[in-house]
């Protein structure tokens, strides 16, 4: 889950909780004050009932009753209770069953009480006199209040549902706009490769975190470009400075070997010098290639390459090194479309990488059968090189891509431990990978996985191959 989605979900959750809390508060507040008004109306009727019943024969009682009839609307299902309780008699005894016991218990304790049972409301007062207790209770229902509260509840639920949808949409837009500069930065960074380290991220000069991150990336790219240029210069200079004296040593050794009258000791020494200078030349060539593929390859020519044609070129190259090889090319799994065999890269480097692996397969198998197969799956081209050679010890497999490492079972073979690391660097430069399955004494199976060239790369290369005069 990316950060934008996390921010959207967090914003949605927090805002929904706030809206839910606000709706709950509104409902409880409205519920309290709606029924509070109804309770007050009930309590007013309790006072009126007491006045009427306690002064039945007086004029004031008739006045109160007239006021009640003229100005007080009768409540739905209104019922009155005026219950004198003789002194010494329990409150709970001989009372109507419709009066709730909890309500009566509250009356006995506090002399005044309210109670609600579903949609039926009770309000009452307990009056004490020297001779008796008087219980005055009025009950009624409030259907309109309940109906209003139900409407309010439905409105709040509907409003909450609509609100969370709006909140989710707003959160999505908010997070999208918030992380838009980050997405643009990621896109720009992905476009910066070893071939275009001179590119920089755009910054607007602000002091926010995004611009600070952009400046940090630009500083890092500057340091990387400087380091690569230094390495590039070193590789170029070393290539010239090291090869020149080696060429002189080798040439002088060859010239001395042609001189007549050399003793066996002199002849042996000159042959050793010639042989070791050749080894040193090969080692320097491998090291320089390893260093060059490790920094950028930006001066290399990149193009769309057909891997089936590349494999035939590799076979021709290895045939010159090991004429007695038994290389077998298997194209039985080729895809129907030739574009699925094309990769974007440098043909010379890829030929060198695959040639190193195929040459090792021939060398370490004593020129037994080596099978090179090619297939394309899931937008990847897989070149598989399988031999029946000495294999690699399992405990040493992790070290085979380290420069100068040689397995313990390769002492009978010449080598410098540079070929596989060089191949790995080239394949990584082409955004690919190398997978090895091996068993000591049984053979080795190496798979080179490369991404299929994107259609726009293939089209761009094809357009470059068309003469300008033929383009529309």
Q: Is residue 29 part of a domain?
A: yes
Q: Is residue 199 part of a domain?
A: no
Residues 319-341 pLDDT 10s: 988 889 999 999 999 988 888 89
What does DSSP assign to residue 75? P
Domain finish residue from 294, 329, 350: 294
Q: What are the CA-CA distances from residue 70 to residues 53, 64, 66 (Å)?
A: 18, 10, 6
Mean pLDDT for the chain overall: 80
Average pLDDT over residues 460-464: 55
Q: Do 67 and 115 sit in the same domain of this protein?
A: yes
Tokens 């008739």 sit on residue: 62
Whether the predicted pLDDT of 230 surpasses 80: no
Of the listed ranges 130-139, 258-267, 378-387, the least confidently predicted one is 130-139
Residues 159-206 pLDDT 10s: 888 888 888 888 888 888 887 888 888 888 877 776 677 778 877 767
pLDDT for residue 4: 74
The CATH number assigned to the domain holding 273 equals 1.20.58
Q: Do 312 and 276 sit in the same domain of this protein?
A: no
Confidence of residue 221 (pLDDT cuts 50, 70, 90): confident
User: Is the model's pTM score more than 0.85?
Assistant: no
pLDDT for residue 291: 63
Q: Do 455 and 307 sit in the same domain of this protein?
A: yes
Distance of CA 204 to the CA centre of its chain: 28
pLDDT for residue 305: 92
Domain finish residue from 259, 294, 329: 294
Whether the predicted pLDDT of 37 surpasses 90: no
pLDDT for residue 71: 43
Which range marks the domain in which residue 253 is found? 209-294
Q: Higher confidence at residue 387 or residue 90?
A: 387
Residue 117's CB is within 10 A of a number of other CB atoms, namely 12
The two tokens of residue 419 are 């070929």
Torsion of CA 276, 282, 286, 287, to 10 degrees: 40
Average pLDDT over residues 60-85: 67
pLDDT for residue 23: 85
Q: Is residue 202 part of a domain?
A: no
């Amino acid at each position: 889950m990316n950060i934008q989605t996390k921010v959207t979900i967090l914003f949605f959750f927090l805002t929904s909780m706030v809206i839910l809390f606000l709706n709950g508060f509104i409902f409880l507040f409205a519920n309290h004050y709606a029924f509070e008004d109804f309770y007050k109306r009930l309590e007013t009727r309790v006072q009126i009932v007491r006045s009427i019943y306690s002064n039945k024969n007086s004029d004031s009682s008739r006045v109160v009753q007239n006021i009640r009839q003229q100005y007080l609307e009768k409540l739905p299902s209104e019922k009155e209770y005026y219950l004198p309780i003789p002194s010494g008699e329990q409150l709970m005894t001989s009372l109507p069953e419709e009066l709730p016991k909890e309500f009566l218990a509250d009356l006995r304790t506090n002399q005044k009480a309210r109670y609600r049972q579903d949609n039926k409301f009770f309000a009452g007062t307990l009056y004490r006199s020297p001779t008796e207790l008087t219980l005055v209770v009025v009950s009624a229902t409030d259907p309109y209040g309940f109906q209003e509260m139900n409407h309010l509840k439905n409105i709040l639920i509907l409003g909450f549902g609509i609100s969370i949808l709006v909140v989710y949409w707003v959160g999505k837009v908010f997070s999208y706009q918030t992380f838009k500069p980050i997405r643009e930065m990621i896109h720009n960074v992905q476009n910066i490769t070893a071939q275009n380290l001179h590119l920089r991220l755009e910054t607007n000069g602000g002091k926010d975190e995004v611009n600070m991150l952009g400046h940090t990336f630009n500083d890092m790219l500057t340091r990387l470009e400087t380091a690569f240029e230094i390495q590039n210069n070193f590789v170029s200079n070393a290539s010239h400075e090291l090869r020149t004296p080696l060429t002189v040593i080798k040439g002088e050794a060859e010239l001395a070997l042609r001189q007549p009258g050399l003793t066996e000791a002199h002849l042996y020494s000159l042959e050793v010098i010639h042989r070791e200078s050749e080894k040193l030349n090969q080692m320097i060539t491998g090291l320089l290639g390893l260093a060059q593929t490790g920094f950028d390859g930006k001066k290399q020519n990149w193009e769309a390459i057909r891997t089936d044609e590349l494999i035939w070129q590799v076979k021709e190259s290895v045939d010159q090194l090991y004429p007695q090889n038994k290389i077998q090319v298997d194209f039985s799994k080729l895809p129907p479309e030739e574009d699925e065999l094309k990769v974007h890269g440098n043909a010379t480097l890829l030929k060198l990488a695959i040639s190193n692996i195929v040459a090792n397969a021939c060398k370490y198998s004593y020129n037994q059968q080596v099978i090179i197969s090619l297939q394309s799956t899931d937008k990847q081209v897989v070149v598989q090189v399988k031999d029946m050679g000495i294999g690699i010890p399992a405990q040493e497999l992790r070290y085979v891509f380290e420069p100068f490492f040689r397995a313990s079972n390769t002492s009978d073979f010449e080598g410098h431990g540079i070929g596989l690391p060089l191949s790995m660097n080239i394949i990584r430069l082409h955004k690919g990978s190398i997978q090895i399955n091996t068993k000591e004494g049984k053979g080795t199976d190496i798979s080179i996985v490369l991404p299929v060239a994107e259609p726009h790369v293939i089209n761009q290369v094809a357009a470059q191959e068309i003469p300008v005069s033929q383009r529309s």
